[in-house]
Every structure is written in structure tokens, then in C-alpha cells.
Amino acid sequence: MGRTRRKRSLKKARAFCACDDQEEIILLNTWLAKNGMQRNDKLVLAIFDDTGRGVLTKKKVQCGEELMNLPLNLTINVTTILMDNLFCKIFLENSKLCLVEYKQSVSFQSLMAFYLAFLKFQSDKTKWHIYLESLPKEYTVPYFLPNEIKLSIDNDIQSVISKQKDIIETSYNVFVNILSNNLSSDNIIKEFKKSFSMSSYEWAYFTVNTRCVFMDLTKVIDLKNTENSIINLICDNTKISLCPYLDMINHSPNARNETKLLVSKDIQNINVSNLKEDLFSSIHFSIYTKSDFEPYTQVFICYGDSHNLKLITEYGFFLPANDLDYVSFSFDEVSLFLRSNSLKLSQDQISFINSHGLNKELYIDCKGLSYNFYGLLLVVKYYYDQSSDVSRLIYSAAICSHDNNLNDIISPMVKDKLESIKVSLDKLSNVNKCVILNNCVELMCQYVRILEKFIKC
């Protein structure tokens, strides 16, 4: 072997290391096989240098191949929760009429998180113990940054964190109230009441956030006639599910994949009061790839087209050179800037802007101004220009949207934003780095690149 080839193969050998021999993974594989999971036998788990734990293929995988399929009773979905009588007792054996008092007051994701915290609390007393042990112990989302560091990261990241905090705190308080009014004499519930904590709920919430897949069971179960069911607590849909092993697959924006439910014809529209676990061993959830993967490379799926702000705040990772990234500006921020630059918008202009939706989605990306931002600036510049028809200009902006004069209007505001991101980056350079902070810094550097490019154009 020549030196270059040897070097290359050494590099390749270092890109991952197998982890199928770790105790929790051996237990997981054995448990899944015993309970009917069918997995493409080319696949194993490995730790990759760039993405952490993920799925490796030992042989070529071709477009159209099934990666794995799981019987429904090996996934944690809405039916799992509804069939867990002990969990339902938390709400139904209660001094409050929970289904009335807390009607539609939590998202399904929050209920799933509460359920996961309940399962985790029971340790090896539930069938999910081995699965729960295989999950990450902590998550790399900025939500978990210390407060003093949060203050120096980008405003957009801060605003996502504060929305997450809001949802988590509100739903946590609902569950704490429900638990405190529980009347059950069951020891597990009594003990859970004492042990349920914000940190256990946060872990569960981000487990659901980072690992759930879309699963639509509306044809299988009847979610309309649910009078005495805890479904009434939910304010949105129930189409997410936790799928062991499938949730070990990392994201690539280039991967293509599909899932399907394999259901026999006699199982449909089951009433929630007739749910039985056995029914679900014959329904399988299958995922197959529409991409090719070479031997000894990582198998990916695509979690959806996502910019880094979402990947970082919801999943805890960053994709370099992500063309979907953008720097957003609020309408208030823009109008304040215009006002202080003698370009105050008139009532007529504001009405026109609002009625054309030009007060939303104002951003700059690697291609320049967003369509709405461009339209808004057309209104600023041409609304009172007798020789121009702004509506026509906005329409033609869809075809031709480059006008340096418009860019110049907001250039001082863009420069200010650029400066303030640089100042924050400077502050962060003195802070000890961790994965979470590195991701935030990467995103802020990406914002700097986008804004510098805009100013230079």
C-alpha cells in the first residue's frame, strides 16, 4: 500500500468506532430482537468523530432498501400512553376533574415528556427500562446553558430558549398541580409525586424533542370519540412517537427516506376504550431509505429542511455551510430604524405593509434580502413616488429582486447588527467552550458572514 493510500485508510479508520459491544447497546439489541424488531443486518451502531453515536452500514445500502421495522408495541406512541392504566390514574383518580379543568391545556409533546418521566422514575419496573437506559443522559441544546452565558448569545437563540422555557414551565406546573391533587393509593404514583422534578421533566422534554418521529395513527385508532380519555388534555395532534433504534439515526439534509405503517385490513378505527397491546404487535412501522450509502459509512435520514437556528435550539447540533441560515429583523426594529433616519412610515404605508404581509419574514440570507424585506423597502422608497406603482413593483420583485439603492437604505442598521454580534462574539471568546456554546458561536459567525456579504454587495 502506498503512503497516500495508507494515510487515507488510516483517516477512514479513525472516522468512527463501533459501539455495539457496549453493555447498554447489547441489552438494547437483544431486547429489540426478542420483541420483534426487524433490522437490515448490514446496520450496526457506532460513534462517529463528527456526529457522535449513529448508525453505520457494513455493506452498501441502496435506494429502496428497508432500514428497519418495528411492531407498534415497541414504540412509545399515543396508544402506549392510553393503555397505561397506572399513568391514566394520575389524572382520573384526582380531586379535580382534570379532563375538564385542564382540557386542551398541554401539547402532546408535553404529555409524552411527562409520561417518559413517569417511566424513567419506575426504572426496571417497566418494559421500557432497557430502551430508557440507552438514551443520552443530557442534551446539547442552548436551553441548558448557564444563565450568565445565555445573556451573551445571539438574540434569536435567546428568544427560542425563552419560548421553550415558557412551554416547559407552564406544562410542568400543570403536571405538578395534577399530581398534588391525585388521590390514588398506588405506591408508585405516591412515590412519583414526591420525586417528580423540573430536571427530570426537562430531560424527558428534550428526549421527546430530539428523538420523536412523525407517526400518523388516525386510521388505526378513533381519536374523535374520546370522552373519558386523557386525550382531552391535549391541545394539538398526537402524531409523534418514540421509536427505539430508529432514533439512533442522525440527520443529513441530503438523505431521503420514507416511513409507512404496515397494517392488516381488519385493524382500523379502534375505539380508545378497546385498546389492547396484542393488537399492536401485528402493526409495523417501517422506514426505508431513498438514498445510497457506501460500505462503512454512516446511514442518515433527513429530519426536515432546517436552518441552524432550529437544529441548534431543538436538536443540539450544527451543520457547517448551511445555505438555509438567515438573519432576521423584526418589523418594530426596522420601523424604529427608519423613524430615526427621517424615513418614518406613514399610517397609509403601514396599512399597505400590513395588508400585503410585508411586516413578517424580514430577513437577509446568503442571497440577500428576503422577498418581504425587499417589498417593504420598495414601499419605503416608492410609495409616494408619482411615477411608480408600488403593487406592480412588488409583483415584479418576485422576478427581479436586486436593487442596491434599497440595500443602502438599511445598510446602517445591518452594520449595527453586525457590530453587536461581533461584540457578543468577543465576550464569548473569554468563556470556556463546550459543545453547546460552540454551536451558538458557529451560528453567530455564520450570521457575521451573511451580513458582511450583504454589506459588500
Ligand X SMILES: C[S@@+](CC[C@H](N)C(=O)[O-])C[C@H]1O[C@@H](n2cnc3c(N)ncnc32)[C@H](O)[C@@H]1O
Neighbour-count burial of 3, counting CB atoms closer than 10 A to its CB (0-12 exposed, 13-18 middle, 19+ buried)? exposed
- DSSP letter, residue 225: -
Write the DSSP string, 68-125. Answer: EEEEGGGSB-HHHHHH-HHHHHHHHSBSS-HHHHTTT-B-HHHHHHHHHHHHHHTGGG
71 binds ligand X (CB under 6 A): no
Of 244 and 375, CB closest to ligand X? 244
Other beta carbons within 10 angstroms of residue 421's beta carbon come to 19
Name the residue with the smallest CB distance to ligand X. 53
Interface with ligand X: number of residues (CB under 6 A): 15
Sequence-ordered list of residues with C-beta below 8 angstroms from that of 248, at least 6 positions apart, any chain: 45, 53, 54, 55
415 binds ligand X (CB under 6 A): no
Query: From the CB of 1, what's the least distance to ligand X, in Å?
Result: 31
**List 40, 250, 306, 370, residue binding ligand X (CB under 6 A):** 250
How far is 208 from 203, CA to CA, in rounded Å? 9
- Which region among 158-166, 225-233, 247-255, 267-275 touches ligand X (by CB under 6 A)? 247-255
Of 252 and 359, CB closest to ligand X? 252
The contact mask relative to ligand X for 33-62 (x = CB under 6 A, - = no) is ------------------xxxx--------
- Which region among 22-30, 277-285, 310-318, 417-425 touches ligand X (by CB under 6 A)? 310-318
210 binds ligand X (CB under 6 A): yes
Of 79 and 250, CB closest to ligand X? 250
Sequence-ordered list of residues with C-beta below 8 angstroms from that of 200, at least 6 positions apart, any chain: 117, 120, 121
The contact mask relative to ligand X for 131-150 (x = CB under 6 A, - = no) is -----x---x----------
Of 52 and 71, CB closest to ligand X? 52
248 binds ligand X (CB under 6 A): yes
Cα 161–chain centre separation: 13
**List 65, 66, 93, 247, residue binding ligand X (CB under 6 A):** 247
Of 69 and 140, CB closest to ligand X? 140
Extended beta strands in 324-430, E state: 326-329, 362-365, 368-369
Query: From the CB of 366, what's the least distance to ligand X, in Å?
Result: 20
Of 87 and 317, CB closest to ligand X? 317
Of 100 and 321, CB closest to ligand X? 321
CB 53 within 8 A of CB 317: no
Sequence-ordered list of residues with C-beta below 8 angstroms from that of 128, at least 6 positions apart, any chain: 76, 119
Phi-psi region of 107 (alpha: psi -120 to 50; beta: other; left: phi over 0): beta
255 binds ligand X (CB under 6 A): no
Query: From the CB of 315, what's the least distance to ligand X, in Å?
Result: 4
Nearest-5° angle of CA 119, CA 107, CA 155?
105
**List 205, 245, 317, 454, residue binding ligand X (CB under 6 A):** 317
Enumerate binding residues for ligand X (CB under 6 A): 51-54, 136, 140, 210-211, 247-248, 250-251, 315-317
